[in-house]
């Protein structure tokens, strides 16, 4: 029929093709695991991604099969982003900060065929390899000179650079259905086992368009973008795709996320825009303050994953003239949901009022529909007063979890975020609490249920509850409340030592409070909200 637009599927590979054609000379700079700085251009990225796509085909990876990565932010990870998804397989980014048992569970659950890893994670791979059910192929993301000794590992181990070198760059990206899966990321921000969120090419492309907009992350060809947020965390908030779409220079920090390393990279590469969780920025601000220095190029930083404290916003803006963009999102939302960009009438407000607005998580980007509902499921007004469960819907919001064994999480077609929020008449959402029973420490999830289960294994424990308590550095840390068995003489040190080896080190609660009894509700469940209210400031006042 005349007059209709072309039916062109929205595909991840098209971002790379666009970047190669229009921004071939634009740089991608990476601090490598080996410590040196690597630089090349989008042209090289595209060529090597095509070689890698041929290599994946050579390994027998079929469309729809999962390819795992355990890697920092760097150019090889970027090549995997495009080669895996572009060729029709599914890029599965694994979070190396999880406990090895959880990583093994996730690899088995996702049925990853091949796992690419940075050398940093070799010991982790060795532990994981003996725990996963079926043997898989592992690829060390390095060159021949840096390959670890093969005989130490009871696994099939390949070398990334050899793998690429064995293939030419003649590869035609397949014309996939845009609803085909492109990538997979597990979240432990829910109860029970980690759950996989499966993104499609279409959802990724639509998210990329929306997240790049001026009132979203505001990215352009003139930007030099430093994603400190890891590429194993919800696609580094979409920045690898956005950078290709707009042709921005990319700067990858590798494993060096301390304040000094980040500062040096920001200055050396003249970064204009960075993105990360508040904990990372604390380190950077401390370093800058100690050095008494300034940022000569950085003008904006995106702060998300946890609430951005007003003191941080003020320090960035007043001392360094770096604008803070406070954003909220979730793994289930690809992740961008809201961004706190001012409206015109905010600009003339006094500074304190502007800071109060910037403490909010912001307004929904086009594509995300949001609402707050009361306990009866009825929508609540946007009046800055009413607080309710935050629900969202949109083309880059998940409708269920990978594997589908759980019932649909949706309520009337809306995704319940587990966050509790209020919304002002201008549409700025502010998170006031969380209804989901998890702890977010330095931007990473800790399962309160797993902590409670471990505590209950101790013979001196009658019952255990773990809650999130506010923490000045990590935003939240786990606090353990314990009712001892009558005859038990259990003390804090003994109980905390009991966690060693049973959970990831940073999951271990910082303190234990021994109580006589726990408050129970009508159905016999522990009233965690009551405990949260009582002990929320434990680490701030202790
Ligand atoms: P994740 O799936 O790991 O990205 O975590 C998503 C969750 O992190 C959200 O549901 C919130 O609970 C929390 N979160 C993300 N961004 C923010 C923010 N700016 N302020 C407060 N909480 C946030």
Q: Give per-residue pLDDT as tens, 71-103.
A: 999 999 999 999 999 999 999 999 999 999 999
Res 508: pLDDT: 96
d(CA 519, CA 197): 35
Q: Compute how many other C-beta atoms are within 10 angstroms of the C-beta atom of residue 484.
A: 18
For residue 438, what pLDDT is reported? 86
Task: Give the residue, by CA position, lying nearest to ligand 1 atom 22.
Answer: 306
Average pLDDT, the chain: 94
- Does any ligand 1 atom lie closer than 6 A to the CB of residue 234? yes
Residue 361 in contact with ligand 1 by CB distance below 6 A: yes
Tell me if 443 CB under 6 Å of ligand 1. Answer: no
Domains of the chain and CATH, by start: 12-256 (3.40.50.12780), 436-542 (3.30.300.30)
State the distance from the centre of ligand 1 to the C-alpha of 481, rounded, in angstroms. Answer: 25
| Cβ–Cβ < 8 Å for 40, 27 | yes
225-273 pLDDT tens trace:
999 999 999 999 999 999 999 999 999 999 999 999 999 999 999 999 9
For ligand 1, say whether the CB of 190 is within 6 Å of any of its atoms.
no
Q: What pLDDT score does 152 carry?
A: 63
Kindly report which listed range (289-293, 423-427, 445-449, 503-507) carries the lowest average pLDDT score: 445-449
User: Which atom of ligand 1 is least distant from the CA of 331?
Assistant: 2
Measure Cα distances from 197 to 9, 62, 203, 354 in Å. Answer: 21, 20, 12, 35
User: 342 or 156, which is more confident?
Assistant: 342
Q: Is 305 in the pocket of ligand 1 (CB under 6 A)?
A: yes
Exposure class string for 148-186: b at 16+ Cβ within 10 A, else e: eeeeeeebebbbbbebbeebeeebebeebebebbbbbbb
| Cβ pair 85, 56 in contact under 8 A | no
- CB of 495 sitting under 6 A from ligand 1: no
What is the model's pLDDT at position 150? Answer: 63
**Residue bearing the CA closest to ligand 1, atom 6:** 330
pTM for the model = 0.93
Question: What's the gap in Å between 404 CA and the centre of ligand 1?
Answer: 23
Span 392-438, pLDDT tens digits: 999 999 999 999 767 899 999 999 999 999 999 999 999 998 888 88
CB 232 within 8 A of CB 258: no
For position 1, what pLDDT does the model report? 62
526 forms beta bridges with 520
- Distance separating alpha carbons of residues 204 and 95, to the nearest angstrom: 20
Rounded to the nearest angstrom, the distance between the alpha carbon of 326 and the centre of ligand 1 is 11
Q: What is the pLDDT of residue 525?
A: 76
- Segment 428-453 shows an average pLDDT of 90
More confident residue, 207 or 130: 207
Model confidence at 153, pLDDT cuts 50, 70, 90, reads low
Per-residue model confidence (pLDDT) at position 75: 98
CB 469 within 8 A of CB 482: no
Residue 273's H or E segment, with its range, is strand 273-276
Pairing mode of beta strands 37-41, 388-393:
unpaired
- For the record, the structure tokens of 459 come out as 């013979």
Residue 139 CA to ligand 1 centre (angstroms): 32
Query: What DSSP element (H or E) covers 276?
Result: strand 273-276
The residues annotated with a catalytic role in the active site are 187, 332, 440, 445
Task: Write out the H or E segment, with its range, that includes residue 157.
Answer: strand 156-159
């Amino acid at each position: 029929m005349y007059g209709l637009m072309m039916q062109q599927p929205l595909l991840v590979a098209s971002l790379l093709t666009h970047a190669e054609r229009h921004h071939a000379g634009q740089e991608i700079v990476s601090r490598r695991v080996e410590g040196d700085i690597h630089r090349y251009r989008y042209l090289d990225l595209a060529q090597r991604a095509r070689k890698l796509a041929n290599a994946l085909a050579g390994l027998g990876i079929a469309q729809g099969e999962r390819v795992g990565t355990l890697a920092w932010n760097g150019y090889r990870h970027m090549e995997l982003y495009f080669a895996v998804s572009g060729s029709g397989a599914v890029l599965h980014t694994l979070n190396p900060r999880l406990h090895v048992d959880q990583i093994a569970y996730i690899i088995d659950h996702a049925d990853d065929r091949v796992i690419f890893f940075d050398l940093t994670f070799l010991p982790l791979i060795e532990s994981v390899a003996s725990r996963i059910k079926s043997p898989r192929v592992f690829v060390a993301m390095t060159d021949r000179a840096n390959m670890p000794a093969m005989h130490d590992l009871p696994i099939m181990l390949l070398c990334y650079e050899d793998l690429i070198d064995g293939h030419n760059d003649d590869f035609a990206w397949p014309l996939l259905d845009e609803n085909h899966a492109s990538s997979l990321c597990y979240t432990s921000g829910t109860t029970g086992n980690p759950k996989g969120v499966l993104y499609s090419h279409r959802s990724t492309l639509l998210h990329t368009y929306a997240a790049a907009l001026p009132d979203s992350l505001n990215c352009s060809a003139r930007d030099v973008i430093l994603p400190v947020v890891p590429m194993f965390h919800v696609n580094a908030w979409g920045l690898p795709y956005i950078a290709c779409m707009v042709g921005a220079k990319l700067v990858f920090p590798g494993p060096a996320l301390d304040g000094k390393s980040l500062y040096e990279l920001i200055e050396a590469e003249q970064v204009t825009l960075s993105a990360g969780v508040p904990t990372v920025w604390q380190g950077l601000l401390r370093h800058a303050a100690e050095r008494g220095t300034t940022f000569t190029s950085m003008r904006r930083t995106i702060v998300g994953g946890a609430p951005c404290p007003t003191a941080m916003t003020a320090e960035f803006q007043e001392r360094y003239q770096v604008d803070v963009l406070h954003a909220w999102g979730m793994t289930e939302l690809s992740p961008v949901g809201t961004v706190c960009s001012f409206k015109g009438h905010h600009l003339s407000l006094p500074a304190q009022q502007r800071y109060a607005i910037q403490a909010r998580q912001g307004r929904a980007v086009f594509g995300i529909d949001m609402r707050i509902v009361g306990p009866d499921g009825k929508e609540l007004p946007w009046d800055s007063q009413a607080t309710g469960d935050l629900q969202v819907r949109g083309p880059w919001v998940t409708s269920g979890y990978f594997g589908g064994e759980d019932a649909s999480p949706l309520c009337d077609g809306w995704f319940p975020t587990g966050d509790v929020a209020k919304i002002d008449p201008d549409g700025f959402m502010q998170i006031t609490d969380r209804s989901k029973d998890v702890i977010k420490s330095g931007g990473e999830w800790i399962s309160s249920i797993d902590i409670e289960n471990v505590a209950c294994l101790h013979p001196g424990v009658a019952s255990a509850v773990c809650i999130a308590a506010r923490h000045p550095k990590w935003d939240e840390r786990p606090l353990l409340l314990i009712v001892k068995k009558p005859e038990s003489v259990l003390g804090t040190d003994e109980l905390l030592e009991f966690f060693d080896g049973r959970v990831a080190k940073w999951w271990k609660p910082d303190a234990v409070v021994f109580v006589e009894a726990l408050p129970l509700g009508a159905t016999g469940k522990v009233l965690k909200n009551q405990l949260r209210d009582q002990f929320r400031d434990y680490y701030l006042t202790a």
